[in-house]
Amino acid sequence: LLLLLPYNTIPFTIPSSSPPPRTSLNLIKEDFSDKPDTWNPYNFLEIERDATQEQIKIAYRRLSKKYHVDSARYSSVLPGSCDTLEDVRRRWDDIKASYEILSERTQRMRWDRRDLVRKPGEAVGRLLLDGVGAGV
């Protein structure tokens, strides 16, 4: 909408209400229902489920150097098993979303809870293996 004001003022545009900034977490629903069962942030960051925040950060930085779209664009060989730049872009989006989920404590707990509900057999198996490893 363009408003014309008296001759001694400059015309200006009234900004429309803009949507919130687009981040990876905005693209993920609160209960992660938009992610298929095979999508796992631990697998994308190539870390174990009991990884510390420091290990998550190190894995993210390592994969960022390898899969970031800007660095892959000018490389003669695409990283990993990616055949096209679009594959690299998809992989980078998954890595970025995985880091945003696992680096924030509440999001990580929510993801682990979702995983527990959807795959209770695997969760019980992990619990038993952790107990055996601890000498229980």
pLDDT per residue as tens digits for the range 79-115: 887 888 889 899 999 999 999 999 999 999 988 888 7
Give the pLDDT confidence of 37-81 residue by residue, as tens digits: 678 899 999 999 999 999 999 999 999 988 888 887 777 778 887
Q: What are phi and psi of 3, to 5 degrees?
A: -105, 135
What are 12-15's contacts with CB under 8 Å, separation 24+?
none
Would you place residue 27 in the very low, low, confident or very high pLDDT band (cuts 50, 70, 90)? Answer: very low
Bridge partners of 12? 3
Q: Is the pTM of this model over 0.75?
A: no
